[in-house]
A and B are shown apart, each in its own frame.
Chain A
Amino acid sequence: MTAQSIAGPAIRVQGLKKSYGKLEVLGGVDFDVVPGSIFALLGSNGAGKTTTVRILATLLKADAGVASVNGFDVATQAANVRESISLTGQFAAVDEILSGRENLALVARLRHIKDPGATAEVLLRRFSLSEAGARRVSTYSGGMRRRLDIAMSLIGNSPVIFLDEPTAGLDPEARIEVWEAVKELAGHGTTVLLTTQYLDEAEQLADRIAILHQGRIIVNGTLPELKQLFPPAKVEYVEKQPTLEEIFLAVIGGDKSDTTGTTTGGRR
């Protein structure tokens, strides 16, 4: 069923170019992703992150360059690539009108899994969505929706998962929930390509970070490698104030399950 994995990088991108009319979005992008690792593509809005992911997910054709996923060329072996990947969209492409359970069962059916209902149940439990499973997704909080989105992309055990800005627009708590889910994924040997504009997200999750700027990779390395590129740390005495995020989490903290389960529980 699932395409065979092939020795070599899980994702290979060489000289990838894409323009929209005169606007050059990608100007020759190169990077490799080692199987089973989390690779972060870091960049600001409009840097070309989503364009890169869309090319890798066979949704867009590159103007030049080659890209392969799981050993399959995205241009000539698109069907094999689609067998190898799961995509979670920037805007959490889940069906608002269906319930969480129905969303999962639909994806399971489309991936031709024998018992879609059972698959849905297992994932609802794993992502703490069992109670909300029968509710329409339109009543979910942002974090629940994103967890459902990630759960949907796990169906079929794709060896490569693209997470396009998985925490954009989430509150700090929901962000941590998503991070936990991503770490768990990589723990199971899945290759994750993550795009993000949050530096701390790349720092938290990624084994390797590439900075995409104006359509080019300007730096690519592990976090310690990236740190060496910059002037050595100076020793300064600074009073360490808690960040607002730490304050926020401390104030509301301690009762995480409550917020995930019932923030929107009132409206049915």
Chain B
Amino acid sequence: MTTYFFNDTAALTGRTLRHVTRSMDTIITTAITPVAMMLMFVYVFGGAIDTGSAPYVNYMLPGILLMTIASGISYTAYRLFTDVKSGIFERFQSMPIARSGVLWAHVVTSLVANVIALVVVVGVAVLMGFRSGAGVLAWLAVAGILLLFTLALTWLAVIPGLSASSVEGAGAFAYPLIFLPFVSSAFVPTKTMPGPVRWFAEHQPVTSIVNTIRNLFAQQPVGDDIWTALAWCVGILVVAYIFAMAAYRRKIA
């Protein structure tokens, strides 16, 4: 079984990647909400938000990137849901292959699709004046955190992808995730928020991840934020993976 794991997963990943490259509109729609937010915040609200001397686009890009991932993984759930619904998932499961390869193919595809969308969003941000003096190591650290966050949310997306009963249900779980950056340090400093909201903002995963990426871009020390961010990512990943595998085992009986 394991001897064919990589061959089978590669074959199935090739298939799901074609689904992405043949519907590039999914990449566009993944990127369009974050880009629209970015335009709105930089050119409409940005002037009224005091975040210090750096351009506002520098301040809010990390939050926009997390929003991109959150909207990107709803397509992961959608693609998996479609496979389950159409019956092709069962066809693969009835074949003499490494069965978990079907899931891994979706996970790898999700990473690739999100990386493409993130590159598009960063490109737009650069056009809007985003600049960073960050070195190669800092960029690698940013990429690493974003990939880890994508991986964690991807496994989260696997759960509704396998167990939702409608397309809407498969995609809907992503909406709260897309809006989570609003109640964080992504767009405005948390110290401007009233007590309970501020407490929530400072203790939810997005803030520590945003602060870490922002400091990496700004060549500032990341402090403890990076450890909190990593702990959140790994924590979400582990819990989501456990529940996803439970949903998967229920599915394949």
Q: Which of chain A's residues have a CB closer than 8 A to the CB of B97? A: 110
Beta-carbon contact of A91 and B94 below 8 Å: no
Beta-carbon contact of A59 and B92 below 8 Å: no
**Assuming A97-B22, A110-B97, A111-B96, is B7 touching A90 (CB within 8 A)?**
no
CA distance A120 to B14 in the complex (A): 17
Beta-carbon contact of B11 and A106 below 8 Å: yes
Q: Which residues in chain A, 253-267, are within 8 Å of chain B measured between CB atoms? A: none
Interchain Cβ contacts under 8 Å between A and B, 9 examples:
A54-B90, A57-B90, A58-B93, A59-B253, A85-B94, A86-B94, A95-B88, A98-B18, A152-B91
Q: Chain B: which residue is nearest A55 at the CB level? A: B253
**Size class of the B contact interface (CB-based, 8 Å):** 20 to 34
Beta-carbon contact of B87 and A98 below 8 Å: no
Q: Which of chain A's residues have a CB closer than 8 A to the CB of B11? A: 106, 109-110
Q: Nearest chain B CB to A4's CB is how many angstroms away?
A: 14
**Assuming A98-B15, A98-B18, is B88 touching A93 (CB within 8 A)?**
yes
* Interface membership of B23, Cβ < 8 A: yes
**Interface residues in chain A, defined as those with a beta carbon under 8 Å from any beta carbon in chain B:** 54, 57-61, 79, 82-83, 85-98, 102, 106-107, 109-112, 136, 152, 156
Beta-carbon contact of A59 and B87 below 8 Å: no
Most buried by A among B7, B22, B90: B90
Known: A59-B94, A88-B91, A98-B15. 11 other contacts (CB 8 A): A54-B90, A82-B94, A82-B96, A86-B95, A87-B91, A89-B90, A91-B87, A93-B88, A98-B18, A110-B92, A111-B96
**Interface residues in chain B, defined as those with a beta carbon under 8 Å from any beta carbon in chain A:** 1, 4, 7-8, 11-12, 14-15, 18-19, 22-23, 86-88, 90-97, 252-253
Q: Which of chain A's residues have a CB closer than 8 A to the CB of B88? A: 89, 93-95
Beta-carbon contact of A87 and B96 below 8 Å: no
Q: Which of chain A's residues have a CB closer than 8 A to the CB of B15? A: 95, 98, 102, 106
CA distance A94 to B15 in the complex (A): 12
Number of A-B contacts (CB under 8 A): 70
Tell me which of B1, B4, B86, B91 contacts A96 (CB under 8 A).
B86
Q: Which of chain A's residues have a CB closer than 8 A to the CB of B7? A: 109, 112
**Assuming A91-B86, A95-B15, A106-B11, is B253 touching A83 (CB within 8 A)?**
no
Q: Which of chain B's residues have a CB closer than 8 A to the CB of A98? A: 15, 18
Q: Nearest chain B CB to A72's CB is how many angstroms away?
A: 12
Q: Nearest chain A CB to B63's CB is how many angstroms away?
A: 33
Tell me which of B8, B22, B87, B252 contacts A110 (CB under 8 A).
B8
Q: Which of chain B's residues have a CB closer than 8 A to the CB of A60? A: 253
Q: Which 9 A-B pairs have the closest CB atoms?
A: A93-B87, A89-B87, A93-B91, A87-B94, A109-B11, A57-B94, A93-B88, A82-B96, A83-B96
CA distance A60 to B253 in the complex (A): 5
Tell me which of B14, B23, B93, B96 contacts A59 (CB under 8 A).
B93
**Assuming A82-B94, A93-B88, A110-B95, is B252 touching A59 (CB within 8 A)?**
yes
Q: Which of chain A's residues have a CB closer than 8 A to the CB of B96? A: 79, 82-83, 111, 156
Q: Which of chain A's residues have a CB closer than 8 A to the CB of B14? A: 106
Beta-carbon contact of B23 and A82 below 8 Å: no
Beta-carbon contact of B94 and A97 below 8 Å: no
Q: Which of chain A's residues have a CB closer than 8 A to the CB of B12? A: 106, 110
CA distance A111 to B77 in the complex (A): 27
Beta-carbon contact of A97 and B18 below 8 Å: yes
Q: Chain B: which residue is nearest A80 at the CB level? A: B96
CA distance A93 to B14 in the complex (A): 18
CA distance A194 to B1 in the complex (A): 29
CA distance A87 to B89 in the complex (A): 12
Beta-carbon contact of A90 and B94 below 8 Å: no
Q: Nearest chain B CB to A104's CB is how many angstroms away?
A: 12
